[in-house]
Amino acid sequence: MKDSDKILATLKHVSLALEKRQILQDISITLEAGKVLTIIGPNGAGKSTLLRILLGLQKPDAGEVTRKPGLRIGYVPQSISIESTLPLTVARFVALGGKGNVKEVLAELRIAHLAKSAIQSISGGEFQRVLLARAIMRKPDLLVLDEPAQGVDVMGQGELYDRISTLRQRYGFGVIMVSHDLHLVMEKTDQVICLNQHICCHGVPDDVSRHPEYKRLFGDMPDSGLAVYTHNHDHAHDLQGNVVHSKDCDHG
């Protein structure tokens, strides 16, 4: 496969302002088959907006968004509300995602035992796996995840991230994942982008065993599947999110 054939989508110099506030500024990223890109940043950094632009749900003020023709996208939203009185089982909910084999997908996500459970009755961690299963049913070329570990405990996060990595290796799809947490990102991420309206810095996550801060916060959990991404910013933002002064960021 040529390198150009691996490219699933690109954003080139994308910018967006809403109500005179800069949301995104000059963002350029490339998403490739089989690669995982994780985006981290604080609240209001523009992470979810970036995903909406990628998905075609919002138009940027400037820049270009290109998607591979026929690109199939599996999307795991940050949250979803389901009417409490709706008679909907886990299996039926997952089946609504596409034409894949529901039993196989549920088994692969290790939630086959939930098939007949009411979707409203399962735990937060289980629901995140169900959302992932629903996205996989589309047989995606690109998996888009908006804070997939939200509401999941640390050990559960490790298991979820490990499952995403396994699925990526099996199916070869690309992954773009956003996170609110500045410290924890997936160990097997190919690239990390730190976003705060613009791209502050990017690189690969460091090995978890080398970071005392992770051990201080969570203890020694070598199989958790998480690592710490550390970096230094050589700039600051004003209240509108604009860069006050800037130099290239380093990551250590």
Instruction: Extract the tokens encoding 226.
Output: 């998480």
Alpha-carbon distance values, 152 to 23, 128, 131 (Å): 28, 8, 13
Give residue 19's identity as a one-letter amino acid code.
Answer: E
| pLDDT value, residue 102 | 94
pLDDT in the model for residue 187: 66
pLDDT for 217: 33
What pLDDT is stored for residue 207 in this prediction? 40
pLDDT at 213: 35
Q: Of 124, 127, 115, 113, which is closest to residue 89 (Cα–Cα)?
A: 115
Residue 203 has a pLDDT of 67
pLDDT attached to residue 159:
79
The per-residue pLDDT for 240 is 45
pLDDT at 4 (0 to 100): 67
- Judge whether 23 and 63 are in contact, CB under 8 Å: no
DSSP 3-state of 178: strand
Enter the CATH code of domain 1-72+140-221: 3.40.50.300
For 71, the token pair is 């690109």
Q: Where are the domains of the chain?
A: 1-72+140-221, 82-139
**Mind listing the pLDDT tens digit of every residue in the chain (252 residues)?**
566 678 999 999 999 998 888 999 999 999 999 999 988 777 788 999 999 999 999 999 999 999 999 999 999 987 788 888 888 999 999 999 888 899 999 999 999 999 999 999 998 888 888 999 999 998 999 999 998 877 777 777 777 888 888 899 899 999 999 876 655 565 668 887 878 888 877 766 654 334 343 333 334 544 444 454 444 455 555 444 455 554 444 444
The predicted pLDDT at position 218 comes to: 35
d(C-alpha 230, C-alpha 159), whole Å: 22
Q: Output the pLDDT for position 244.
A: 54
- Check: CB of residue 96 under 8 Å from CB of residue 37: no
pLDDT at 149: 77
Burial of 2-29, coded b for 16+ CB within 10 Å and e otherwise, reads: eeeebbbbbbeebbbbeeeebbbbebeb
DSSP collapsed to 3 states, 93-158: HHHCCCCCCHHHHHHHCCCHHHCCCEHHHCCHHHHHHHHHHHHHCCCCCEEEEECCCCCCCHHHHH
The predicted pLDDT at position 219 comes to 47
Q: With 0-12 CB in 10 A as exposed, 13-18 as middle and 19+ as buried, what is 165?
A: middle
